[in-house]
A = this chain, B = another copy of it.
Amino acid sequence: MSGKVTTMRDAVAELVRDGDTVAIEGFTHLICFAAGHEIIRQRKRDLVLARLTPDLIYDQMVAAGVARKLIFSWLGNPGVGGLYAIRRRIEAAELGDEPPLEVEEYSHFGMVGRYTAGAANLPFYPLRSYFETDLPKANPLIRPVRSPYGDEIVYAVPPLKPDVAVVHAQRADAGGDAQVWGLLGCQKEAAFAADRVIVVVEELVDEAVVRADPNRTIIPGLIVDAVVVEPFGAHPSYVQGYYDRDNRFYRDWDPISRDPAALQAWLEEWVYGLAGREEYVARLGPERLAAIRPSGSAPSGPVDYGAYR
């Protein structure tokens, strides 16, 4: 398998285009902040940002002006509060005469279903949700569909096929075969649905490591366009077994997000002012990194696939 290893700068320059629909997925786990920051640095514009939970990364990207639209299912800073850069682009009093950020809103399962339909090339995905709620009124793309077996009605969501999906993983080989353990979110579905895929990893491994445990592979290199090796690329999100969620960062974000000037200053210091993730990690410093080290190891133990010759 040919090597696809490149830098974040080159991957984003080549694969993310103005106007693209971009999905940097990962449900609390494996959110690739490094890719989001590089998109900000390269001043991409008019992106449609898709994620179940926009999280801090899309708050930062919206504040930096890369987005024209948000597709999501839960907009908040989990356990802390709001995402105020995004809310300022939605709430009436803040907007004044400014046009709002476009929003297209689903539930979690609706978003997962959208990626699933996109990955499976289906025209719609049926689910038991939305009955007797205002969501189908708020988003007319949520539509009823009648079962061909009796009169039952369920709701459907349309396929979502991002132009680019970014998947952060513990490890991949040079061909892009990526392996993940811990929370899987819907990265697999988003990647198979996407036209282009960037895999970002903590560690590049030999193909033999992947092939030794093929059940752990979440996406094959077949659908991957670029592999970027970026240790701590998911901070302040986390990577199971590698580093912890930096909850302090999530808490600290609240006052920054509330204050547009503070937020722009933060972007200057932590994004525009740095060449890339390596400088970001250096700036975090050894103490901060030590604080998010797991408290111990918890090995899975091996299993035996057996040789069959």
A306 is an interface residue with CB less than 8 A from chain B? yes
CB closest chain-B residue, reference A126: B122
How many chain-A residues does the 8 Å CB contact rule pick out?
A: 48
CA distance A216 to B215 in the complex (A): 8
Partner of A300, one of B124, B144, B154, B212: B212
Determine the chain B residues whose CB is within 8 A of the CB of A213 once the complex forms: 300-301, 303
A248 is an interface residue with CB less than 8 A from chain B? no
- List the number of copies, as a whole number: 2
Determine the chain B residues whose CB is within 8 A of the CB of A216 once the complex forms: 215, 300, 303
Q: Name A residues whose Cβ lies closer than 8 Å to a Cβ of B.
A: 121-124, 126-128, 141, 143-145, 147-150, 152, 154, 156, 158, 170, 181-182, 184, 209, 212-213, 215-216, 240-242, 244, 294-309
In the complex, given contacts A124-B149, A126-B126, what are 17 additional A-B residue pairs having Cβ atoms less than 8 angstroms apart?
A123-B152, A143-B148, A145-B147, A170-B303, A181-B303, A182-B215, A182-B305, A212-B298, A212-B300, A215-B216, A216-B303, A295-B306, A295-B308, A299-B304, A299-B305, A300-B303, A302-B302
CB-defined A-B contacts under 8 Å, sample of 27: A121-B128, A122-B127, A123-B126, A123-B147, A123-B152, A124-B148, A124-B149, A126-B126, A148-B156, A149-B158, A170-B303, A181-B305, A182-B215, A212-B301, A215-B216, A240-B305, A294-B304, A295-B308, A295-B309, A296-B306, A296-B309, A297-B307, A298-B305, A298-B307, A299-B303, A300-B304, A301-B302
